[in-house]
Amino acid sequence: MRTNRVLLAVAASVMAFALTGCGGDDGGSKVPTAASGGATTASGGAAAGDGAGDDVAAYVAAQGKYVKCLRDNGIDAPDPDAQGNIDFGGGDNVRALKKDPKFQAASEACAEFVTAVPESVEKGNQPALTAAQIKVKQEYATCMQKNGAADFPDPGPDGLGQGEWDQTSAGAKRATRICGPIVGVPATAAPGKG
């Protein structure tokens, strides 16, 4: 069971990388290395803290430790990028890697270094929503709140979610069935396979 969680965390890291878009330069390019375990600016100083930037810097440092551990356990893992994403090659490469017993053993040995992707990185990896998409998100939130999920968060100005809510209550499940068609989920979805 632990192996599955580790592999899921690795898959999440890979997916986060796959969803990463191109970003602008903020004046000092951050270059993380597995050896340093953190981000430094081109001039060699530590990255300055700015709230969300602190989250990213901490995540990059954690990913650097994870990569170093993988390397110490015989896996030729690439350095994380400036957002902490690790490029294992995607697609077929990732599927082959997940089946490799050597990688599985290294992943388990390095499980203590796996960390959750910070919200600021996740949001940075998502494309900007159009005004029409934001309106749909707002309609969905209103529907959910009126139909049993009173704690469903309102989307922010960018259309992205703004917090946690109880998805397990009977009201939340009812609201999800009623409001699903607003976001393209059929009210009578077939059971999942797998």
**70, part of any domain:** yes
Same domain, 16 and 83: yes
**35, part of any domain:** yes
Query: In the numeric block, which tokens belong to residue 138?
Result: 């707002």
Structural domain boundaries, residue 147: 131-183
**192, part of any domain:** no
Domain count, the chain: 2
Q: Does the predicted TM-score (pTM) go above 0.95?
A: no
Same domain, 137 and 71: no
Q: Of 105, 125, 145, which residue is a domain's last?
A: 125
Same domain, 63 and 153: no
- Per-residue tens of pLDDT for the chain, all 194 residues: 444 444 444 444 444 444 344 343 444 334 444 444 443 333 333 344 445 668 888 888 999 999 999 999 999 889 988 888 888 887 788 788 888 999 999 989 998 988 888 877 776 667 788 999 999 999 999 999 999 999 999 988 888 776 778 888 899 999 999 999 998 877 655 555 54
Same domain, 112 and 167: no
